[in-house]
Structures are given as C-alpha cells and as structure tokens.
Amino acid sequence: MKSIDRVFVDGYCNIDKTTIDLQKQTALLATNNYGKSNLLDAIDFGCLFIRESQANKKAMMQFAPAISINDKLAGEPFSFEVEGHIDDTTLYKYGYSFIWRAESERGVSEAWICREFLKIKKTTGVHPEYSNYIIRDGATDAKYLSSEKGRCSTRIAIDRNSLVLNKLANFDNLFCINIIRELNNLVILNIDTLDNPAKHFDFSIGNLNGRATIHIGDGLPQFLFSLKKNNPDKYEYLKSAIMSLVPTLEEFDPVPVKIGELPDNQNLPYKIPTEYDVIVKDKYNNQPTRFAYLSTGCMKLVHILSAIVLAKEKGAQLVLIEELENSVHPKLLRSLLSIIEDMCEDVKVLFTSHSPQLAQFLSPKQLYVGLPNCDGVVDFRTVKANKVDKMLTVANEMNLSLGEYLFMLMEDMEGDNDLIGMYFNKKDGCNE
C-alpha cells in the first residue's frame, strides 16, 4: 500500500520550510498561537490542491487566509512536497510550488504554478537511485519521462493553473501510468476535534427568517449503522474500543429512528428518508438515551475513532488530528494512543498538542517541538538522540517530566541558539 513518509510545506501563513518525518504517530508540541494548526492546514491544503479541478486550483491560489503576511515570509510561494512508497519496491518524491495571487498599489499579480517535480526510485535495481519523471521550471516549461529507458525530456503543454501530474493521469498508455494515478489519489484526512462534536449527533429545530429549520447530525450515526450492517467485525472492534475508553457505557447501538421503507404496492410521490441515531445506556442511568445526551468528551472520542475507521475505508495515507488530548482525561490518553495505533494499522497519524503529558507516551523521534524564535515563524525540531538522557536528567533534577521540561524550554529559549543547538537537531528541508 502506498504511504506518505515525509512532508514538506513552505509559504503558508507562518509556515517556513518545515519538514516532518512521519512515524506511525507523530506529535507537534507547541505553545498556544504558535502555528500548530497552520501546519496541519497547510498539509491538508497541499494534498487537496493535487486532487482539485483547475478552476478550484485557481481559487485556492488566491485563498487570502493562507497567504503569509509575516515579515519574513511575505511574498514567498507556497510549496508542498511528499515522499513515500507506492509499493514495497517503488519510492517517490513529488512536489510543486505556486505563486500566490497578490494585490498591491501597482495592480494585481495573478497566481501561477511555478515549479513541479516527480522522482521515482525502484529498489530492485543493481544501483537504485531516483530518476526524474517530471521536471517543471516555470509556468508552462515542463517535461516528462515518456519511456522507461529514455530521459525526462519529452515536452508537455501545460496551463499555468494545472499540474503535470494531473494531466499525465489521462495518458492511458504511459509506461508509469499506475504510479501517476496512485499519486493523483493521495488522501489526507483532517479530523477537526475542536469543532462542536454535538453536531455529529444533534437533532434540533431552529428558526431561520421565520421558517423552521431542522438539523439531524451530519451522517456519523448513519455511518456507524452502515458499518454495523456491512462490516460487523470492524464495527465490533470500534464499539469495543469506544466502550473501553468510556467504561460506564453498557450499551452502544446505532439504529434507524425513522423507517423510510414502503410497501411495494404504494406509489407515493415522496418517500420519507430514514434517519439514524446512536442509543446508549450508561450504567448510572435507569434507561437508554440518545448519545448526544452524554458528555462532550465522549462524543469527541467517538468522532475521532469513527473518523479513523472512515480514513481506512477511504484509503487515506495520513490522518491529521488537532489537539488529540482535548476533552480526554489524562489517564485515558495512553489507552487512546494505543487504540489509535491499532486501528490505523498502516495509516500514519500526525496530531498537535499542548499537553506535557503526551511526551510521556511517545518516543523522542515522534515529538516535534515548536521552538521560539524572533521571526514569528514555525520552527519544529526533534531532540537529538544523544541528548535525550541529558534532557531527562536535567528534568528529573528540576522535578519535572520530560514534557514539562520541553514546554519550559519552549517558553524560555527564544534567542538562546547555544541551548537550541545543544539539544535539538537542525531544521531540515526536503527540497529537490
């Protein structure tokens, strides 16, 4: 199965040349208002751009909230790069850059894709190395590899708002068409845990301009019911995981609450659709209730775990989770991480956190620490492997956990390049 093992983004809000080497679970640790969410959004944006239509690409290249107004980054193009495996013997590096649409006193500067590349390496060769499959340097100056034994020199006409990768997906007879199509279908799922989870289970009546409006969730109960019906083993695993994290639940059952089935002999002009809900029984209650009556934390746990199951079904390579620990009791965090790892199997997870407790349950190479700097840009780095013991010793002497010590450093290290250089690896880019 194809994977995403490394991502690189630049030129999105305050994201400056940031590379993340993805483990099965990778955490971005940083203080509030640092740029954790910006980085997740940039990764989501970069992958979505690949799959969108030309018209939507043009709209995305003028998406004002993403255009950097940071003093250091203003005017920088957006860049997105991914590395990983297509299969056990095929590795890829793909990336592109575009110039944002800009308005100034001198007029409007339209957006355009200025760079694109694709490199492939077969590990089964005698001397395996990366070969160029796409080379693009400029809006319309692009070449591709048209035969397995040739050079990347065949010119291709391309629009300034289009990707060569997308166009090649239509070349049915291209020798590498399977690779091209696999890369056109990279999937990253962004799970918004900061949103109101009740909307996933809500049934409410409101008023809009004097007219009644009805909101009946967003499909999560229906997804759970469908999973129970069509994939009972996976449903039972999900249900078991949910009930292990919420041990007071005695029953958990997605059900249809309004049956839309009609006898065959009735020919009515309108068929009432079936609605769905999740009925639960808490051991402290004397009767079952709708799931929406439970706590926000319970709803978020179900939302996260259900979304991970959905990510597997959709063939996602990477799941992004904002503030995993939000509304989760610290004692449940280790269990939640373990369950997510088991459920994800070969899907990687990248999440943000400002919880010192999280560092206790992950290895140093899984932790990217947001270091302070005088430019206001993100600077995520990992701890040097040979400095972990020293860091733990210092933390113990101060009666702090590793996570608490890391957050203390985040708040106090601005401008201390010696301390940063002693503990943390250099900021790495994965540019071509």
pLDDT by residue for the chain (432 residues), tens only, comes to 699 999 999 999 999 999 999 999 999 999 888 999 999 999 999 999 999 999 999 999 999 999 999 999 999 999 999 999 999 999 999 999 999 998 777 778 899 999 999 999 999 877 789 999 999 999 888 999 999 988 999 999 999 999 999 999 999 999 999 999 999 999 998 887 655 555 555 544 445 555 544 444 457 888 899 999 999 999 999 999 999 999 999 999 999 886 655 566 566 666 667 788 899 999 999 999 988 888 888 888 888 899 899 888 888 999 999 888 876 778 888 899 999 999 988 899 999 998 888 888 998 899 999 998 889 999 999 999 999 999 999 999 999 998 999 999 888 877 688 888 899 998 865 444
- Tokens standing for residue 314: 């959709």
> In terms of C-beta density within 10 A (0-12 exposed, 13-18 middle, 19 or more buried), how is residue 144 classed?
buried
CB atoms under 10 Å from CB of 392, counted, come to: 15
Cβ proximity of 77 and 42 under 8 Å: no
Supply the DSSP symbol for 32.
T
Cβ proximity of 350 and 40 under 8 Å: yes
> In terms of C-beta density within 10 A (0-12 exposed, 13-18 middle, 19 or more buried), how is residue 116 classed?
buried
**Conformation bin of residue 233: beta by default, left when phi > 0, alpha when psi is -120 to 50:** alpha
Angle at CA of residue 210, ends 205 and 213, nearest 5°: 25
Instruction: Identify the H or E element spanning 179.
Output: helix 177-184
What's the count of helices (H) and strands (E) in the chain, helices before strands? 11, 21
Q: What pLDDT does residue 324 have?
A: 85
Cβ proximity of 61 and 400 under 8 Å: no
Mark out the alpha helices in 275-320 (DSSP H runs).
296-313
CB atoms under 10 Å from CB of 50, counted, come to: 19
Cβ proximity of 251 and 239 under 8 Å: no
pTM of the model: 0.89
Q: What pLDDT does residue 215 have?
A: 42
Q: What pLDDT does residue 259 have?
A: 62
Q: What pLDDT does residue 345 have?
A: 86
Length of the chain: 432
Supply the DSSP symbol for 327.
T
> In terms of C-beta density within 10 A (0-12 exposed, 13-18 middle, 19 or more buried), how is residue 103 classed?
exposed
| Cα separation, 40 vs 28, whole angstroms | 10
For residue 394, give Cα distances in angstroms to 96, 215, 360, 402, 409.
43, 54, 16, 9, 12
| Cα separation, 183 vs 51, whole angstroms | 10
